[in-house]
Amino acid sequence: MIEIDPHDRTDLTGPWAGFGFQGGHMFTPEGHQLEPGDMAWWSLTCNIAREWRLMMAQARAEMVPRSAPPPKASATTKSSVIYLAEALRIRRERRSGVGAPGPGAESSNVVYMSRGPRPRQRV
């Protein structure tokens, strides 16, 4: 059986190359040191990353073509650039049922709040 001294540096190999352990802490290829308690957040981090990938894939699939035609790409190149702000705006409009108001649409009765006059600042 192999015994590992926790104070000696142990480098991982294969897909984990660059990561390692030393002095009871894990370190990353970028040189960040992870405390044992930090590893409790890995599940949350991985779930956030998974949701982000799913959201980006869904946004790519739902993208409405822009008014200008996209540049021609070769048959082997597939563009995966999305405009996140536009994709989120479109999604928000679909969920709320709000679109571009037509000519017969009534004006909004929303009152915009403001802070009022600012006090004078001493110079």
pLDDT digit string, tens, across residues 24-49: 888 999 989 988 888 888 888 888 99
In a domain, 23, yes or no: yes
Per-residue pLDDT, 22: 87
On whether both 14 and 43 belong to a single domain, the answer is no
Number of structural domains, the chain?
Answer: 2
**pLDDT tens by residue, 63-122:** 755 555 555 555 555 566 777 777 788 888 887 766 555 565 666 666 666 666 777 777
89 lies in which domain range?
A: 36-65+82-93
Place of tokens 């949701």: 51
59 Cβ contact list (under 8 Å, min separation 6): 82, 84, 87, 88, 91
> Does residue 20 lie in a domain region?
yes
Asked if residue 40 and residue 30 are part of one domain, the reply reads no
Give residues with Cβ within 8 angstroms of 39, minimum separation 6.
26
Backbone angles phi, psi at 39, to 5 degrees: -70, -15
- Would 100 be classed as within a structural domain? no
18 in a structural domain: yes
Q: Note whether 56 and 89 are same-domain residues.
A: yes
Rounded-to-integer distance, Cα 11 and Cα 18, Å: 7
47 and 89: one domain?
Answer: yes
| Cα distance between residue 25 and residue 64, in whole Å | 48
Q: How far is CA 109 from the centre of its chain?
A: 35
